[in-house]
Structure 1
């Protein structure tokens, strides 16, 4: 299983002599899939553990059972012992079209409203309305209206449309800067949903001071905020009217992580090159659905939508219907890779200087997963989550995966609390 890590670690520009420190235990498969989901997840999480302990010589370990729970962490969130609901709206599903299938995303109210507007129907009439559309035509109409959906394609059709796949992680230096002094990393978190928040919660569990900013008019789904906010402080800020506050945070940050479409935040002065010019020495991590190149670069997207478009849904499906991975692996794996890349770039900056930009995309992670050897989807035994859960105030959460020096990782306070913190650094 650990044979997937060396080439991935090389892509991250990690030193090969660090690899021996990771020890993986547990069943080789804990998540049933035609893809090596367990191994891919172990490689991504393992990379984050190695990056967080770089140069220490400390042993890091991971059990594939705790990995299975961590990659589906949203399923285990409880508050006062009660579930916080299903993050998927009933309309967020596969729907038959006139020429195949389409995966719709309607979890956020504004995306749901856009879908209903395009379809011109009530919620109950959505399946029948979608059945009258050609998949790609509806996909385009949803995008133009601010909605999200993707026609289900084969991998070959996706590659013909989008070209060769990018690397799972891309790194570039975007400016000169002196090496910064070593200190507790400060991370400005401008992400939503899963991939970006997983990256920043991983940085938090390894000791970073993380401040997440959200727009006041874009509330988060309660389950997702509970799952991805432990260890962070969450504040609300309009990036347009709050430029002075944003600039103060940027001036004190070591790492900035964004999780929006390429270019979407440029109007706020957050383009990587501009950030590097104003704040030399930053590490800038950008995560997106489709990457910064190609015909889909500026489209909205989520894990389930990428699976549908790139051919994973076909590979995971039955002859008469598409399917899905056993977890939102594209999100979670991209998040752990983002954390690993940020930590490695931060170490590089503190050693050699420079302003560093890391790019990741769900579609790139999907291509990496699709390029790995396939396996027979024999059913894996269901993992008992109880040993891998943690209580944090009123919340029950999946424990962060892995151990350092034999000590299991655990979420640190504060407990998840959306939008209640002041936008500032702890030691200011």
Structure 2
């Protein structure tokens, strides 16, 4: 018998862990359920506002359920970020996937607003109201529905309503891919949360993604390494470099042992898991010029958001980091360790986005890839990691050989 839908009788289903994927911890805030991508013990070890914003922005986090519903409503309380002097940012995008295919996109107005002054490093929060996301006219059949949350808006989940019951989707037996990186992995400036390069690569590789891309915060922090260590995963990748240069965080003397320590910690929890170290994609402004990098105020005055490096190339002699220096050192470190760790692998980030790509698909703000480049990088990564002889490719026994 076909299910009879009553458009006036929506069912409210509690949003709980069994309907969420991609989050490492859930916090009940009093207003809703807030997904976190770092656990509380990690968050307690660093009070950096940039990290707090990044880890609470739900890149890769999605509601996943099975239903015959033709109408889905989700109440959320987003936090919008506005930068003083910068062009207004559009509302974050929610992606609706039906049986794995993008079936709709929507935005939620309202919510809290966090206004950040980059020059004074201060921020002011203005409270707002809950908004409602609505998807209608869905196929009237049993289907798997995914709602991917905006990668660039902290999002508290308030209520889920449908015109038919929902249930968790059974385990599909997919491998779990745990990835850590910078804002480029976090999603900036993809067209939507399911089309960041890690999300697209995960779809191409038929794996479940946990995205620990942390904008401005891929800094070899020990608490991030411990989070990776303690998170169950079948495949792990870390993409390191651009944030270290942009923050001018350390010198080569500190970088090398920090990388070793980061890898040692991951290996404490995942001694034989395939582990891929990815060096930075091409970024011409910091290939040979050290940081710190900053917003180009001249461009900002003209209404354009662009970045520039402020270091001196001669400072490389004193150990300052550039992307070129980091790439060479990561390749050397992985080569050294791989002699005793056959499941450790290296990928030069320029294989994902290199000189020819920079000509065809230039970085609009000199730092972040655009939507087309996210798709390009995803295809490249899937070809090099998930396809034989890549490190994440199914082994012969898994292919039924």
Same fold (TM > 0.5) = no
Higher share of residues assigned strand: 2
TM-score (norm 2): 0.27
Higher share of residues assigned helix: 1
Greater relative contact order: 1 or 2 (C-alpha under 8 angstroms, separation 6 or more)?
A: 1
